[in-house]
């Protein structure tokens, strides 16, 4: 059995999705891949890459659980919450913390293949409860993830690019994805995994 750890925030967890456990992107990915794969959904609401954030992934129980899972494949999708004005510090700090997370998973005994996913576009309106998430900062972080992929010789799943023209994959808050969005992410990840 091949174990896949999906590292992420509410987009991975499946926040606000109807029948979340069946419709979140990690489950849909598992449906694509078949019975030879075990999918671990380690996403949680509010998760961030920046360790200066109290909800940083590395401070959470799911970080420990993902390590104990000892995955063969790791998919990292973090950045949307880092683009919140209340959380953001610098792109350099994001890169530093991202690099440390990559290094951590590289030390695991399974020596997992690691895939980096850029955060999808974010377009919260001024009345959205997530209005403090900056579309421009999300774009900067997506660019940083692409650079990290090149520097670390890791595949990048460019969800920012894939969602740039998709207007029907988000719920009304302009940040969280609907079922169609979860399917889009799962399909993009599946296509990248299928290249190996």
Sheet holding 37-41, edge to edge: 37-41, 2-8, 73-77, 113-117, 155-157
Region 49-66: mean pLDDT is: 98
Mean pLDDT of 112-132: 89
pLDDT score of 38:
98
What digits encode the pLDDT tens for the residues 154-178?
A: 999 999 999 998 879 988 888 989 9
User: What are residue 43's DSSP bridge partners?
Assistant: none
Model confidence, pTM? 0.96
The pLDDT, as a whole number, for residue 125 is: 77
What is the total count of domains within the chain? 1
By the 8 A CB rule, do 130 and 174 touch? yes
Q: What's the pLDDT score for residue 95?
A: 98
Burial tier of 142 (Cβ tally within 10 Å: 0-12, 13-18, 19+): buried
Where residue 9 sits, what CATH number does that domain have?
3.40.50.1110
| Bigger pLDDT: 43 vs 129 | 43
Mean pLDDT in the chain? 95
pLDDT of residue 196: 61
Q: How far apart are CA 139 and CA 122, in angstroms?
A: 9
pLDDT of residue 166: 81
pLDDT in tens, 72-106: 999 999 999 999 999 999 999 999 999 999 999 99
State the Cα–Cα distance between residues 125 and 175, nearest whole angstrom: 10
> How much is the average pLDDT of 112-138?
90
Q: 99 is in which domain, residue-wise?
A: 2-193
Mean pLDDT value across residues 137-149 = 98
Residue percentage of the chain with pLDDT more than 90: 87
Q: Give the burial string for 162-194 (b: 16+ CB within 10 Å, else e).
A: bbeeeeebbeebbbbbbbebbbbbbebbbebbe
């Amino acid at each position: 059995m091949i174990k896949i750890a999906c590292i992420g925030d509410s987009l991975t967890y499946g926040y606000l999705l109807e029948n979340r456990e069946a419709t979140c992107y990690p489950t849909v990915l598992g449906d694509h891949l078949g019975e030879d794969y075990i999918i671990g959904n380690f996403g949680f609401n509010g998760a961030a890459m920046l360790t200066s954030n109290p909800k940083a992934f590395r401070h959470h129980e799911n970080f420990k659980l993902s390590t104990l899972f000892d995955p063969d494949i790791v998919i990292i999708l973090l950045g949307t919450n880092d683009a919140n004005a209340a959380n953001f510090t610098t792109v350099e700090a994001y890169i530093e913390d991202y690099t440390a997370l990559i290094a951590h998973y590289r030390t695991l005994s399974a020596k997992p293949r690691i895939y980096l996913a850029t955060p999808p576009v974010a377009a919260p309106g001024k009345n959205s409860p997530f209005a403090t998430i900056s579309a421009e900062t999300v774009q900067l972080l997506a660019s940083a993830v692409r650079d990290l992929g090149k520097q670390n010789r890791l595949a990048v799943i460019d969800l920012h690019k894939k969602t740039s023209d998709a207007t029907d994959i988000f719920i009304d808050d302009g940040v969280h994805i609907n079922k169609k969005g979860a399917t889009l992410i799962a399909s993009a990840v599946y296509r990248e995994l299928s290249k190996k």
